[in-house]
Amino acid sequence: MTPSPVKTAIITGAAGGIGHALCAEFTAAGWRVIGVDRIADKGKHQWEFLPFDLMELPESPAAAAFFKQVNRICGRKLNALVNNAAVQVVKPIGEVTTGDWDASLRVNLLAPFWLTQRLLPMLKAARGSVVNIASIHARLTKANFSLYAATKGGLVALTRALALELAPEVRVNAVAPAATDTPMLRAGFGKDIRGLKRLGECHPLGRIATPQEVAHAALWLASDKASFVTGTVLDVDGGIGVLLHDPEHN
């Protein structure tokens, strides 16, 4: 029996909490993984790493060099593109700068578009898929998250539009996590351990997500097990997205 060829995935934001889990889960499932991040990854792992700042997209010498490397590594086929990298600006509207908007738009929304566009021939050749890591903030948000909510909402809309445009050759889906236990989230709470615990208790399942749980969802969407799934936004939110907060009946 001829063994199945190894599938290849490109995963952005590979140095972050969810990004690292994505790379690990895809690698454990037998995929060849190319992790991408602007932060140099010096850790020991089983996947390849390409340093690249998504702010360099779509056209720059750095972008040209990046795509040249991708072509060398992947050849003519790419089975999955996982757009995970994100910038989260948390500021009152009066403090938001043009630089904040530029970074949020270019990393959270435009980079997934440009990467999909440039890698589309390889994705089509493999009849592969795109998995966008969106957020619960695309539809349920809170004060001071206007940039993050707007760009993640745009990413969900882009997911659905591209699912139609790229079918049947390429599937396009998204994962929308709620609060996830990453170093970035914990840093936001600092020493407020009780606050972090209360955040988990707000979810019907009584806790926040692990990065691995988000990665499991993304891996399933990229796999052949989801071969009839496209244009879907998969909530990984512990049930908080269906919770009604009634001030009279908590």
User: pLDDT value at position 247?
Assistant: 67
Q: Sketch the domain layout of the chain as residue ranges.
A: 8-242
Homologous superfamily of the 8-242 domain (CATH): NAD(P)-binding Rossmann-like Domain (3.40.50.720)
Q: How far apart, in whole angstroms, are the C-alpha atoms of residue 30 and residue 246?
A: 46
Q: Give the residue-averaged pLDDT of 61-77.
A: 96
User: pLDDT value at position 41?
Assistant: 74
Give 179-188 pLDDT, tens digit per residue: 999 988 888 7
Six-digit token pair at 121? Answer: 């021939």
Q: Give the residue-averaged pLDDT of 167-171.
A: 98
Q: Please report which confidence band the pLDDT of residue 122 belongs to, taking 50, 70 and 90 as the band edges.
A: very high
For 8-34, the three-class secondary structure string (H helix, E strand, C coil) is EEEEECCCCHHHHHHHHHHHHCCCEEE
Q: How far apart, in whole angstroms, are the C-alpha atoms of residue 238 and residue 240?
A: 6
User: pLDDT value at position 29?
Assistant: 98
Q: How far apart, in whole angstroms, are the C-alpha atoms of residue 28 and residue 47?
A: 10
Q: What angle do CA 192, 193, 196 make, to 5 degrees?
A: 95
Q: What is the pTM of this model?
A: 0.95
Sheet holding 32-37, edge to edge: 48-51, 32-37, 8-12, 80-83, 129-133, 171-177, 233-236
Q: What angle do CA 73, 77, 80 make, to 5 degrees?
A: 90
User: Within a 10 A sphere around the Cβ of 220, how many other Cβ atoms?
Assistant: 17
User: pLDDT value at position 249?
Assistant: 52
What percent of the chain has a predicted confidence (pLDDT) above 70?
Answer: 96
For the chain, the three-class secondary structure string (H helix, E strand, C coil) is CCCCCCCEEEEECCCCHHHHHHHHHHHHCCCEEEEEECCCCCCCCCCEEEECCHHHCCCCHHHHHHHHHHHHHHCCCCCEEEECCCCCCCCCHHHCCHHHHHHHHHHHHHHHHHHHHHHHHHHHHHCCEEEEECCHHHCCCCCCCHHHHHHHHHHHHHHHHHHHHHCCCCEEEEEEECCECCHHHHHHHCCCHHHHHHHHHCCCCCCCECHHHHHHHHHHHHCHHHCCCCCCEEEECCCHHHCCCECCEC
Q: Please report which confidence band the pLDDT of residue 204 belongs to, taking 50, 70 and 90 as the band edges.
A: very high
- Gyration radius of the chain over CA positions: 18
Mean pLDDT of the chain: 94
- Residues belonging to the active site: 148
Give 31-44 pLDDT, tens digit per residue: 999 999 998 877 77
Q: Give the residue-averaged pLDDT of 45-66.
A: 96
Q: Please report which confidence band the pLDDT of residue 60 belongs to, taking 50, 70 and 90 as the band edges.
A: very high
User: pLDDT value at position 114?
Assistant: 98
Distance of CA 91 to the CA centre of its chain: 22
User: pLDDT value at position 4?
Assistant: 66
User: pLDDT value at position 43?
Assistant: 72
Comparing 30-34, 38-42, 216-220, 229-233, which segment has the lowest mean pLDDT?
38-42
